[in-house]
Amino acid sequence: MTPSENIDALVAGLTDWRGATLSSLRKTILAADPDIAEEWKWMGSPVWCCEGNMIVGNAHKEKVKLTFSHGASLADPEKLFNNGFGGKVWRSIDVFEGDTIDARALKELVASAVAYNRGKRKKKQA
């Protein structure tokens, strides 16, 4: 199966609120930039990449978690990050049942992650 097919199967297997939530978040992530690719890594995790890893998505028993690989380096004016503040690199958004995520703000945060990764690549080439 392709990574996208694996993610489709994961979402379909989550028959409660987590499936709908992960599906909605996935749609917003993919809408942020046409170059975002889906990958399937680490024994069953959806990963969204553009010029490198950006976001890992996981459905836990009580939440859906989006972990941004370089979240600590991203501006978060809408305060979407709500976990991972103790680390120097990663930041995450934990979504619990009943939570709503501002799709526009998430799309902007993902676009910021794309820009960050593209900037890292340019620095390496210089």
- The more confidently predicted of residues 32 and 87 is 32
Backbone angles phi, psi at 55, to 5 degrees: -140, 135
Q: What is the pLDDT of residue 125?
A: 59
Per-residue pLDDT tens over the stretch 43-72: 899 999 999 999 999 999 999 999 999 999
Per-residue pLDDT tens over the stretch 4-20: 999 999 999 999 999 99
Specify the range with the lowest mean pLDDT, choosing from 19-23, 25-29, 41-45, 55-59.
41-45
Are 67 and 74 a contacting pair, CB within 8 Å?
no
Share above pLDDT 70 across residues of the chain, in percent, rounded to a whole number: 95
CA distances from 62 to 43, 94, 106 (A): 20, 10, 21
* Strands of the chain, DSSP E: 37-41, 45-49, 53-59, 63-68, 91-96
CATH architecture for residues 3-125? Alpha-Beta Complex (3.90)
Kindly state the average pLDDT of the residues 85-90: 92
For residue 34 the two structure tokens come to 């046409």
